[in-house]
Amino acid sequence: MSVIDNSGALVAECVNVLRTPSSRGLARIGDEIVVVVKKARPIAHGTQAGPASAAPKVRKGDVRRAVVVRTSKETTRKLGDGRTVRFDDNACVLLNQRKEPLGTRITGVVGAELRQKGWSKILALAGKVV
């Protein structure tokens, strides 16, 4: 799945789904998962790298927790008229130890189901909510 924050990770692989007793190991929008970073931005060395805050926060092979923000499997909305929402790909946002987003920006669209699951900080950082 793709990582849509600016933490430095580009692609991650889900290895475990946490706290979903009814889904039998399948992650939905708003579920917390454990991922392994498969592809990350290269770490620049030297003086021309820019400020220290621009350095990537994760490396390839890091094991992190993340929140699923998009799924290609359709999701039926419980509130409203029961519409189904489906995205083109699966995407996540990495978390730190305090369960806050690791990055400071989120690029791309996120699902509105995050609001019911309590991830309002991710919604505040996202550019577009569907």
pLDDT number for residue 3: 96
User: In whole angstroms, what is the distance from residue 74 CA to residue 51 CA?
Assistant: 41
- Whether the Cβ atoms of residue 56 and residue 7 lie closer than 8 Å to each other: yes
Q: Is residue 46 part of a domain?
A: no
Between the two ends of the chain, the Cα-to-Cα distance in Å is 19
Per-residue pLDDT band for 126 (boundaries 50, 70, 90) equals very high
Which domain does 74 fall in, by range? 2-41+57-129
Cα–Cα–Cα angle for 56, 57, 61, nearest 5°?
A: 100
> Is 51 inside any structural domain?
no
CATH of the domain at 109: 2.40.150.20
Position 107 in a domain: yes
The answer to whether residue 118 is domain-embedded is yes
Longest dimension (CA), the chain: 56
Q: Is residue 122 part of a domain?
A: yes
Q: In this structure, is residue 11 part of a structural domain? A: yes
**Contact of 113 with 58, CB cutoff 8 Å:** no
Number of structural domains the chain divides into: 1
pLDDT per residue as tens digits for the range 51-90: 555 667 899 999 999 999 999 999 898 877 788 999 999 9
Q: What is the mean pLDDT of the segment spanning 102-114?
A: 93
Asked whether the predicted pLDDT for residue 45 surpasses 70, the reply is no
d(CA 119, CA 115): 6
Domain assignment present for residue 50? The answer is no
The model carries a pTM of: 0.86
Domain assignment present for residue 49? The answer is no
